[in-house]
Amino acid sequence: MKRLAKVQKDIDRSFGPLTPRATEVFDEIKKEASKYNATFNGDSKFEVVGPWMDQHVVDLDKKTCSCRRWELTGMPCKHVVAFIFNTADNEGTIQSPESFVNHVYWLQTWKRMYSFKINPVRGRLHWPKSKWLITITPPKHKNPIGRPKKKRRQSAVDLQIIKEDRISRAGAKLKCGICKTDGHNKRTCPKKPITSKNGGSGWW
């Protein structure tokens, strides 16, 4: 309701055939169109040439331009506006550039879309009492079987991070700390001293 009232204030302050934002965009298109020249082919098409080798074809009957901006946006591109200016300069009969803009950008369309309002309502204390007294309760909770897990289930991202942080021993060369040879460690060393039951030690 507040948003509709705010937009209505903007609509009341707006003038012209197009919405304020559409007017700004179309004014920029008009400025760019002043740099282009249009040539009539005698039928319904125009060849529009501008700076930087920008050349396109405007078809008035089909309401298309080879740059495709008119078809995609619904707003005439600079090539179409250039042909409108060219027709007006040659004292031809042509409508205003805004008349070629799709009606979705028109101020009247904006007014119709926001003509419907939301009515305010009274407080909850003044609402009529319902004849169907239904109390909505939460569903019954049933504990699952087994001991509840205290540790959360790790996702694939967590497992990948843990795997990257750990140093893998795969492919590492073992070196014995007793005989200083490669291929085994102290636990499997054949020269490891043997401890007897009486506390003595010896070598194989």
Residue 61 lies in a domain: yes
User: Which residues contact residue 104 at a Cβ distance below 8 angstroms, ignoring those fewer than 6 apart?
Assistant: 74
Identify which of 102, 95, 94, 52 has the alpha carbon closest to the alpha carbon of residue 77. Answer: 102
Residue 55 lies in a domain: yes
E strands in the chain: 37-40, 45-49, 55-59, 64-65, 194-195, 201-202
Parent domain of 54: 21-101
DSSP state of 204: -
| pLDDT tens per residue across span 155-188 | 887 777 666 655 556 556 778 888 888 878 888 8
- The amino acid sitting at 139 is P
Strand-pairing partners, residue 175, are 182
Residue 68 lies in a domain: yes
User: Does the pTM of the predicted model rise above 0.85?
Assistant: no
Residue 13 lies in a domain: no
Per the model's pLDDT, the better-predicted residue between 74 and 129 turns out to be: 74
Residue 183 lies in a domain: no
CA distance 146 to 6: 58
Residue 143 lies in a domain: no
Report the number of distinct structural domains present in the chain.
1
Q: Is the dihedral of CA 17, 22, 27, 30 positive or negative?
A: negative
CA distance 54 to 47: 11
Percent helix / strand / coil, the chain, rounded to 5? 35, 10, 55
- DSSP code per residue over 133-160: -----PPPP-PPSSPPPSSPPP-HHHHH
Residue 39 lies in a domain: yes
| pLDDT tens per residue across span 88-118 | 766 666 778 999 999 999 999 999 999 999 9
CA distance 173 to 139: 60
Angle at CA of residue 70, ends 66 and 72, nearest 5°: 100
State the first-to-last Cα distance of the chain, in angstroms, to the nearest integer.
Answer: 94
- Residue-averaged pLDDT of the chain: 84
Residue 90 lies in a domain: yes
* pLDDT given at position 90: 63
CA distance 42 to 24: 33
